[in-house]
């Protein structure tokens, strides 16, 4: 998580923003540089300790789970969940969206990214010890824009749900960059593959209070 971290658009300096799933801490660093009051939640105690030390977040960074976010009601102007939802089963995802809505202030926004239309079977690997098959990155959901919209409505009011190409250039070697450059060229010609991510921005629905 975090390589495609979306910064909340048009947020005033000092606005409280929560990042769900810290990853490398890239979002937290960028948010601080932008003058946002960044908070973070992640299941890993070690990750939370690291981001506290590096960025001085203190109790603004807390260990916890998306289905039980350890922050008060209506506390944030925006919540960011970048490459999180594809790791969650249906029950956890539903609970997580309910919790995100709970901690958002009236009119607050959810922003996030997920891989688009991933072929989960292509990324299955076999454990050499036990022989069991599992997804190399722990993904359990394959999402498209229609499914993302269905998950958000009516709890949120979708403002933008769209696919975009986003090759992870910074972490690729030269061979990987050449391959993704070719994929990007194909994407521009309308040939879709494994290069797309879904970007979403949704407003907390006012219909539910």
Q: Which CATH number characterizes residue 76's domain? A: 3.40.50.150
Q: Where are the alpha helices (DSSP H) in 104-144?
A: none
In a domain, 186, yes or no: no
> How far is residue 24's CA from residue 102's CA, in Å, rounded to a whole number?
26
In a domain, 78, yes or no: yes
In a domain, 149, yes or no: yes
Q: What is the DSSP letter of 185?
A: H
**Are β-strands 104-115 and 196-204 bridged in parallel, bridged antiparallel, or unpaired?**
antiparallel
Can you give the pLDDT at residue 170?
46
Can you give the pLDDT at residue 1?
39
- Which residues of the chain fall short of a pLDDT of 70? 1-13, 166-195, 207-209
**Are β-strands 37-42 and 61-63 bridged in parallel, bridged antiparallel, or unpaired?**
parallel
In a domain, 40, yes or no: yes
In a domain, 130, yes or no: yes
Supply 27's token pair.
């979002």
| Cis peptide bond N-terminal to 166, omega within 30 | no
Burial of 65 (0-12, 13-18, 19+ CB in 10 A): middle
pLDDT tens-digit series, residues 177-189: 455 555 555 555 5
Q: What is the DSSP letter of 146?
A: H
Residue carrying structure tokens 């060229």: 185
In a domain, 2, yes or no: no
Range of the domain at 200: 16-167+196-204
In a domain, 177, yes or no: no
Q: Taking the chain, what is the end-to-end CA distance rounded to the nearest angstrom?
A: 31
Residue pair 71/18 in contact (Cβ under 8 Å)? The answer is yes
In a domain, 96, yes or no: yes
Indicate the number of domains in the chain.
1
This prediction's pTM? 0.80
Can you give the pLDDT at residue 126?
81
């Amino acid at each position: 998580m975090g390589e495609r971290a979306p910064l909340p658009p048009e947020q005033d300096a000092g606005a409280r923003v929560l990042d769900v799933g810290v990853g490398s801490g890239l979002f937290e660093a960028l948010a601080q540089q932008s003058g946002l009051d960044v908070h973070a939640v992640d299941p890993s105690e070690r990750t939370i300790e690291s981001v506290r030390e590096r960025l001085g977040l203190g109790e603004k960074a807390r260990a916890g789970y998306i289905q039980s976010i350890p922050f008060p009601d209506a506390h944030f102007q925006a919540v960011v969940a970048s490459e999180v939802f594809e790791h969650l089963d249906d029950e956890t995802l539903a609970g997580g969206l309910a919790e995100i809505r709970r901690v958002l202030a009236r009119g607050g926004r959810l922003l996030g990214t997920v891989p688009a239309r991933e072929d989960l079977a292509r990324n299955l690997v076999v454990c050499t010890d036990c022989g069991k098959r599992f997804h190399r990155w722990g993904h359990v959901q394959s999402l498209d824009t229609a499914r993302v919209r269905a998950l958000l409505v009516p709890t949120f009011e979708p403002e933008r749900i769209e696919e975009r190409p986003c090759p992870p250039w910074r972490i690729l070697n030269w061979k990987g960059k050449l391959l993704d450059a070719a994929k990007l060229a194909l994407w521009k010609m309308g040939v879709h593959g494994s290069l797309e991510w879904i970007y979403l921005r949704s407003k907390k629905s006012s219909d539910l209070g």
